Amino acid sequence: MARYKIIVNPIAGRGAGKRAVPLVEQTLRDYGLDFDIVHTEYPWHAAELAQQAVTKGYDIVVAVGGDGTANEVLNGLMLARQAGEGSAAMGVLCVGRGNDFAFGAGVPHDLVAGCRVLAQGYRRVIDIGRVEGGLFPQGRYFGNGVGIGFDAAAGFEAQKMKRLHGFLGYLIAALKTIFLYYRAPLVRIEYNEQTIEQPSLMISIMNGRRMGGGFMMAPQASMDDSLFDLCIASQVSRVRIFALIPRFMKGTQATHPSIKTGQTQRIVVTAVEGVLPAHADGETLCTQGQKLKMELLPRQIEILCQPQ
């Protein structure tokens, strides 16, 4: 029988992680699963716990939280894999704010439905991104995407909000950011043997489809096609940023003249003038970065999800 390590971030979703534990325990018992639960206690603890779970022979490691918790568990699994310590499949139970990684991977948002996915055991193998630069010159893995510029600044604003959360919080943060961060840095973007140098309001390097709980940065992206999907926005006025937001919510921004899309396995973004605020899966990479290198690693982790 498969052994499940359930890693709970108790403060995810403003305490929703802790509140979810009784329901998770009862539901998994009803399915007859062999599991034990551990709570995280500090940043990066989920990564450490996930790596330890692999070395102890657990078959499936489950993140109970939001995108940040999932990112840490993913990093722990990848670090174990890279160190030759073994491998385990990944599960996700959504109790966070955005849950964008789960959305792209085919994991249901509903907690009971997520437990059913763990019991049913359907799996797909997904690609994983790796970014070097900012606070992580040694590299950090990500499952959903890296955001550079406007969306990173909006995410930082969303984290400051005490009452609003989820997509509404990100939307309000995006509106605030229009007035705080609208002058794009001059950047050099290198991918597929081409170089673009322009003021770029936002650069999204996506493995998944969505960021911010409802902004479809790459509506056609797939986590198992061995390619990043790119969404690059040039400098536009405040008024045009307002006009772009509904397009990103619908995933129709690609037809706008300020948007460039593409696919690649590797990309380098350098600040020529100004700095790069950036995040990976919602986790801060840097607030004033100078250079970021991203690479997609094909077929790295099995994830339990709904059948495609």
User: Does any domain span residue 53?
Assistant: yes
Q: Work out the pLDDT band at 157, boundaries 50, 70, 90.
A: confident
Domain check: are 176 and 215 in the same one?
Answer: yes
Q: Which of 31-40, 55-64, 164-173 is least confident?
A: 164-173
Q: What CA–CA distance (Å, rounded) separates 213 from 103?
A: 9
User: Does any domain span residue 127?
Assistant: no
Q: Work out the pLDDT band at 186, boundaries 50, 70, 90.
A: very high
Counting the structural domains of the chain, the total is: 2
Domain check: are 141 and 116 in the same one?
Answer: no
Domain check: are 14 and 136 in the same one?
Answer: no
Domain check: are 41 and 148 in the same one?
Answer: no
Domain check: are 95 and 157 in the same one?
Answer: no
- Range of the structural domain that residue 241 is part of: 132-298
- pLDDT at 180 exceeding the cut of 80: no
Q: In which residue are the tokens 């706008």 written? A: 256
Whole-model pTM? 0.93
User: Does any domain span residue 308?
Assistant: no
Domain check: are 111 and 151 in the same one?
Answer: no
- pLDDT at 85 exceeding the cut of 70: yes
pLDDT of residue 35: 98
Domain check: are 79 and 138 in the same one?
Answer: no
Domain check: are 200 and 230 in the same one?
Answer: yes
pLDDT of residue 95: 93
The string of DSSP letters for 18-84 reads HHHHHHHHHHHHHTT-EEEEEE--STTHHHHHHHHHHHTT-SEEEEEESHHHHHHHHHHHHHHHHTT
Give me the CATH number covering residue 261.
Answer: 2.60.200.40
Domain check: are 22 and 81 in the same one?
Answer: yes
User: Does any domain span residue 305?
Assistant: no
Question: Which of 66, 98, 121 represents a domain boundary (last residue)?
Answer: 121
Residues 6+ apart with CB under 8 A from 200: 148, 149, 184, 185, 187, 189, 232, 233, 234, 235
Q: Which of 78-82, 234-238, 287-291 is least confident?
A: 234-238
User: Does any domain span residue 306?
Assistant: no
- pLDDT at 80 exceeding the cut of 70: yes
Domain check: are 58 and 145 in the same one?
Answer: no
Give me the CATH number covering residue 34.
Answer: 3.40.50.10330
Q: Work out the pLDDT band at 175, boundaries 50, 70, 90.
A: confident
Mean pLDDT across the stretch 181-188? Answer: 85
Q: Work out the pLDDT band at 163, boundaries 50, 70, 90.
A: low
Domain check: are 190 and 272 in the same one?
Answer: yes
